[in-house]
Structure 1
Amino acid sequence: MSAEKVSAAALEAGAEKPAKPRVRDRIFDTACELFYRHGIRAVGVDAIATEAGTNKMSFYRSFPSKDDLVVEYLREQERDYFEWWDGAVGALEGDPRAQIEALFQAQVDVVMESDCRGCALGNAAVEMPNGDNAVSQVVRGYKREVRERLRNLARAANARDADQLGDALLLLMEGAYFTRLAFPCVNGPMAALMPAVRALLDAHQAR
């Protein structure tokens, strides 16, 4: 076989093999999975490094501290969440009531998944004490944004008291995530979510 053919065959074989993820990416992906499944406080650096197939030295070369990793995890969860939100309501631009209903129906669909452990940032809020640390700031900023988005949708729907409706919807949204952890989806309180959303909308739009 000529050198050119050998080289081409080697390149073709190499193209079939997926590139190995960088150590930092492996640590981050592993941490995201462990944090969501077991909680932030329950998962230490040793566990993350071991599960990622590396060691603490590599961990600290990739992240200055566990808190830095947690902040990055929460930031990614926040980005993913708002991408999901925009996808749920985007096709219904101009019909705010339909957007609200679509958003909550999308939440039902997510919560009904067997591996759903609720809202990652909401779970972090339960675990993290109130304070001015970076983790708490990310969580509070995220929750403020969710609240404002719901209030804006309520205003667009011409609710009599948009702020009150937005806050009531927020309570339903938060409650649905946490209820999922304690009750089965099929015959648990989640079954009442969409009727409750529609009843709230009707009450705030009645003249």
Structure 2
Amino acid sequence: MTRRPAPGTRRRILQTAARLFGEQGARAVGMQQIVEETGLGKSVLYREFTGKDDLVKAWVGELHDHAWSQLDSAIARHEGDPARQLLAIVEHAQETARTSDAHGCTFYNTSAEYRDPDHPGRREAVAHLDQLRERLRALAATARATDPGALADMLMLVISGLYANAATLGPSGPVSRSVAAARILIDQHIPAHASAS
């Protein structure tokens, strides 16, 4: 009869993997290292996850859920003002980048580490970024931006740039100007917002 893993085993593995992946990059961490760090047997690890790719996918999926929960909260504070919600997304990204121990954006980093478009972790990361881009475009359209797609893409560039700059030049470098840059873009593309602000 197959032994059932202790309750919380999957959570313990994911928490350990998240810490190691965050510190060293997902690609650099081997399954044996996770076995040693958790103190669990290899068979227990492989009972929970079919392999490293499956573990990376689960990790990115969990980060996706957490990120959207936080982002939804930031957006909800400005219900009824889609232009302000756009700015709230950038404010949230800036705050996350400035206060996080992460080395840039996990979703962009995972995409860069796993270049095979069919890698499960990369697919999860790209899906998250696609969803963020679509949320920005939908808010821009609701706010009656002159070109919602263009505004969404420019804000994506601000967001990716602020994460890269926070990781390399520190939280007091160019990242400190990201919200101001986003505000300029929003005012340029949503004339009604510019006159109201």
2:135 maps to a residue whose letter is R
SS in 2 for 1:160: coil
- Identical-residue share of aligned pairs (%): 34
Q: TM-score, normalised by structure 1?
A: 0.84
Residue in 1 aligned with 2:99? 113
Alignment match of 2:112 (pick from 109, 126, 130): 126
After TM superposition, list the pairs within 5 Å mapping 1:29-44 onto structure 2: 29-44=15-30
Say if 1:46 and 1:55, in contact at 8 Å, map to a contact too: no
Equivalenced residue count is 187
Alignment match of 1:147 (pick from 112, 120, 133): 133
Residue in 2 aligned with 1:205? 190
How far the C-alpha of 1:22 sits from its partner, in A, is: 3.1
Please, which runs of 5 or more residues in structure 2 have no aligned partner? Answer: 1-5, 193-197
How far the C-alpha of 1:21 sits from its partner, in A, is: 5.9
How far the C-alpha of 1:32 sits from its partner, in A, is: 1.2
SS in 1 for 2:99: coil
Residue in 2 aligned with 1:156? 142
Alignment match of 1:136 (pick from 116, 122, 142): 122
Residue in 2 aligned with 1:9? none
Residue in 2 aligned with 1:195? 180
1:47 maps to a residue whose letter is Q
Say if 2:162 and 2:178, in contact at 8 Å, map to a contact too: yes
4+ runs deviating over 6 angstroms: none
- Rounded Cα–Cα distance in structure 2 between residues aligned with 1:149 and 1:119: 18
SS in 2 for 1:92: coil
Say if 1:110 and 1:116, in contact at 8 Å, map to a contact too: no
Residue in 1 aligned with 2:31? 45
Question: Larger Rg: 1 or 2?
Answer: 1
- Rounded Cα–Cα distance in structure 1 between residues aligned with 2:89 and 2:115: 29
- Per-residue CA shift, 1:114-148, capped at 9, x if unaligned? 51322211110010113223223212211211110
1:201 maps to a residue whose letter is I
Residue in 1 aligned with 2:164? 178
How far the C-alpha of 1:66 sits from its partner, in A, is: 1.0
Q: TM-score, normalised by structure 2?
A: 0.88
